[in-house]
């Protein structure tokens, strides 16, 4: 068996709707389905950038343990409703927004007076109910960007004395599920297939969230790798019968098919069964790795070397 750890491929993306999609990644090296699935899931739930209300004030309310005349909900209920508003923010600035609602009716997220850099993802989200025609509901909101979850104590911005602080749920990813199944490529039957389902709040697409999480992991591991670099090998093809498309910058000889070398049937079949279809595939393996291929021994290796010497390759 080859010692090379082949890179996987994103073979399909099944988008159920704008907020949910299922990603299939295969073929993965043995055990890597669980490794990648768990790490990507943790990053998706904790580290994707988003926006949330971090503080607010309502005219007529001095603290969170009070009620407002003419409003059905108390301040605590309104605090919970504010956490459900989802924003799409363009930039990293802190935004001060306002709601002014006069008379009886339902106060929703679409009543927030936004600017060019702020978009409400769920405008129908209910904030409060005003049940008095003479009541004027005025609220000021502070919206910030961040990652994951931030408690009130962790907030770095100094709030005005009349502002009520909120713990903020910045993460736009609501749910991540994954499972690992077996898959095979040719004679390799112990490979993994990762199936990952991502659900977001609509402020980011599942694909963008998936790619951002992967990029975060790449940056973290690159920093730990120092100067060490491992050459990425070509992904294994699931079909096993379609050779890789030629690269215009590579010598034409490298794309020569193994079947065109006129090797013995046993040696040719051994190479093809181990997903070696071209000279490029052959040259990517060392002598030791070739000897470990199933059905390929020292005699076959000597035959290949003699043939390459004969062709002056």
Tens digits of residue pLDDT in 186-225: 777 788 999 999 999 999 999 999 999 999 999 999 899 8
d(C-alpha 298, C-alpha 306), whole Å = 12
| Residue 276, pLDDT score | 83
User: Is residue 108 in some structural domain?
Assistant: yes
Q: Are residues 149 and 286 in the same domain?
A: no
Among 216-220, 244-248, 263-267, which range has the highest average pLDDT? 216-220
Own/partner pairs, 3-7, CB within 8 angstroms, 24+ separation: 3/289, 3/292, 4/233, 4/284, 4/285, 4/289, 5/29, 5/32, 5/233, 6/233, 6/234, 6/235, 6/236, 7/232, 7/233, 7/234, 7/235
- 141 pLDDT band (50/70/90 cuts)? very high
Residue with tokens 């060392």: 286
Quote the DSSP letter at residue 257. Answer: B
Share of the chain above pLDDT 70, in %: 88
Q: Are residues 147 and 206 in the same domain?
A: no
Host H or E run for residue 38? helix 32-46
| Residue 13, pLDDT score | 92
- 3 pLDDT band (50/70/90 cuts)? low
Mean pLDDT within 139-164: 80
pTM above 0.75, yes or no: no
* 295 pLDDT more than 90: no
Query: Interior CA angle at 202 toward 48 and 92, to 5°?
Result: 50
* 93 pLDDT more than 50: yes
* 180 pLDDT more than 70: yes
Share of the chain above pLDDT 90, in %: 46
- 313 pLDDT band (50/70/90 cuts)? low
d(C-alpha 269, C-alpha 300), whole Å = 11
Q: How many domains does the chain have?
A: 3
- 240 pLDDT band (50/70/90 cuts)? very low
169, 188, 205 - which closes a domain: 169
User: Is residue 240 in some structural domain?
Assistant: no
Q: Give just the sign of the alpha carbon dihedral 51, 211, 176, 201.
A: positive
User: Is residue 136 in some structural domain?
Assistant: yes
Q: Are residues 152 and 53 in the same domain?
A: yes
């Amino acid at each position: 068996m080859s010692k090379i750890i082949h890179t996987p491929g994103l073979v399909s993306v099944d988008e159920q709707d704008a907020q949910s999609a299922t990603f299939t990644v295969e073929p993965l090296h043995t055990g890597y389905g669980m490794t990648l699935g768990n790490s990507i899931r943790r990053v998706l739930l904790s580290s994707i950038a988003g926006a949330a209300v971090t503080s607010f004030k309502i005219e007529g309310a001095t603290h969170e343990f009070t009620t407002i005349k003419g409003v059905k909900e108390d301040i605590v209920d309104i605090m919970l409703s504010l956490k459900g508003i989802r924003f799409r923010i363009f930039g990293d600035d802190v935004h001060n927004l306002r709601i002014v609602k006069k008379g009886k009716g339902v106060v929703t997220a679409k009543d927030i007076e936004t600017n060019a850099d702020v978009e409400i993802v769920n405008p129908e989200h209910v904030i409060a109910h005003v049940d008095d025609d003479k009541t004027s509901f005025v609220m000021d909101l502070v919206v910030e960007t961040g990652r994951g979850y931030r408690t009130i104590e962790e907030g770095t911005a100094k709030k005005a004395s009349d502002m009520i602080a909120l713990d903020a749920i910045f993460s736009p990813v609501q749910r991540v599920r994954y499972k690992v199944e077996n898959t095979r490529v040719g004679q390799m039957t112990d490979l993994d297939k990762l199936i990952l389902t991502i659900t977001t709040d609509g402020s980011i697409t599942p694909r963008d969230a998936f790619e951002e999480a992967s990029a975060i992991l790449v940056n973290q591991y690159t920093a730990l790798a120092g100067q060490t670099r491992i050459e990425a090998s070509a992904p294994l093809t699931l079909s096993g019968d379609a050779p890789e498309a030629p690269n215009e910058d590579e010598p034409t000889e490298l794309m020569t098919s193994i079947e065109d070398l006129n090797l013995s049937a046993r040696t040719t079949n051994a190479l093809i069964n181990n997903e070696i279809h071209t000279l490029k595939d052959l040259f990517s393996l060392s002598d030791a790795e070739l000897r470990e291929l199933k059905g390929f021994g020292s005699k076959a290796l000597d035959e290949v070397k003699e043939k390459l010497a004969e062709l002056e390759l």
